[in-house]
Structure 1
C-alpha cells in the first residue's frame, strides 16, 4: 500500500478499497458491508429519530487537548445530545488532499475508533474523496449522526420562557484559545488546552431526570456563547440577561484575549453545553452537573426576561449594561 494519498485513492477502484479495508475499517461496524446505505433499526412508537450533519476542519490537525477526529466525533454527538437524544450511529466522509501521508490518515482513524468506542456509537457508513495537491489543504471530515429520543421530549430553542434560567456547564473560550496558541506563527505560549469532550454522560442523565423542565440546549461552538444566546433570544422572542461575573472564564484566557482585543464570549467552545431550564429545577440541575468531572465548573449565568425581546443584555463586571451581539466575521479561521 502506498505511503501517501494519491488521486487514485478517491477514484473508487482498488486503491479506494484498500484504503477502506486497511485504514478506515478500524472504526467501521463489522462485518464491512459494501452497500450504498446502512439499514438502521428503530423500533417502538414512543421514540423519534434525530439526525444532524457537521463538517470539521482545524489547523493544526493535532492540538493540545484534542485533534480533528475527536472534534468530528464529539461535535456531532454533542449536537444530538443537545436535543435530548441518545446518539446511536454515525456516517463519516473524508476529503483528503493528494500527497497526505497514509500514516496521518491511520492515526486519525485510530482516534475515530477511540472516540466512537468511548461514546458507544457505531460508524456505519462513509465515503472518501481525494482532491489534487494544492486544492485541499490537508484533511476535512464530514460527519452525520443519528440518534433516538422520546417522542414526549421537546427540547428546542423555541421553548424558552420568561423566568427561565441559563446554565453553562464550564469555562468558555478554551478551545479557540488552544488552537490560537498551537499555531506556529503565534508567539505566545501557554498551558491552555482545548475543552474538546463528549457530553452524553454529563447531559443525558439530567435529561432523563428533569425531562421537559429542560427547555433548550446548545453547545456553543463557532461564534461562541454570544452566538447561541442570540439565537435563543431570537427563536423564543425573549430577552436574555447575562451576568458577566457569573460566566466561568479562566484567568489565562483573559490574559490571552484582553491584549488582542478579543471577546471570550465570541470564542469557540468544544465541550460545553448552554442549558435553558425552568427555575424550579435550577439548583438541583446545577448540583447534578457539578457532580460530574465535565460539569464541575457549571454555573447559573442569567435569566430570560421581557425587557428587550430578541436581544441579549450583558450586565458587566463594572456595573454597566451592554448588548451582547453575535460576532461579525470569524476571529480565527479553521478552528473546528
Structure 2
C-alpha cells in the first residue's frame, strides 16, 4: 500500500520503511556491518549478564546496575536491527501500523530505561566516593529494586502517550517513512493535521528523561570530582577517578549520540538524509555494542573473570 508523496492517505494500515534514503543500492552491503555490530552486542551483553549473575563476588550495586544495563541493551538493539536487516537484505519494507507503534514504544522506552540506568550508576559512584562508609547501608537491595522499578515506570508512563497522540489522527501525507525504523518524529512528520501537541509532548518526554538525567548526572560528577580532589594523595585521586572513567565513557557516548539524533530530526535540515539516517541507526546500535567492550576492558573484576573463563576453555 504505497502512496505518492503528494496524496493523502486515510487510516493507513501499512507503512513502508525506506531504510536509508539515497543509499538503497548499497543496502545489501550496509547491512553487513550492522549485522556484525548486532551479533557483537548480543554476545557481549549476554556475557556481561552471565558473568555477573554467576559470580557471587560481583553481586554488588554497581554490577547489578551493569547487568540490567546489558539486558536492556539486548532489548534495545533487538527492537530495531532484525527489521532493519529484513529491509536491507530482503526488501521487506512493509510494517503494520500497530507493529510500527509497538516498535516506536519499545525504542523510546528502552532508550529511557538506558538513561535511567546510567543515572542510577552515577548515583552509585556518588555514594561510593562521597559517602563510602555508608555505601552498603544506603545502596541496599531494597533501594536498588525501588530504583529499577521507578526507572521502568517512568519510561512506560512518559512514552506510552506518544502512541495515543498519533492514533488520534486519520489522515497522513504519505505512508512512506523515510527511516529504517518507526521513530516518533519520523511518523509525526507524515501526519496531515496539526501536530504541535505531538511535537511539544515529544520535547517534554526528551527533557523529562534525557535532559533531566544529563543535568543530574553532570551535577553528581561535579560533586564526585570535588570529593576526589580533596583526597590526600595522587594515588588516591587516580584510584577514585579510575572507578568512574568507564561510566563517564559510556555516559558521553550515549548522550552525545542521543542529542545529535534528537536535534537533527527537528533542526538538521541541511544534513543529508542518508547521513542522518545512518547516525540515527548507529545511535541505537553503537552503545549496546560498545558498552560491554568498555566495561570488559576497564573493569578489573569482569576482566579477571573473563580471563578465568578463557583459561578454563583452554
Taking structure 1 as the reference length, what is the TM-score of the superposition?
Answer: 0.26
Greater fraction helix: 2
Taking structure 2 as the reference length, what is the TM-score of the superposition?
Answer: 0.27
Greater fraction strand: 1
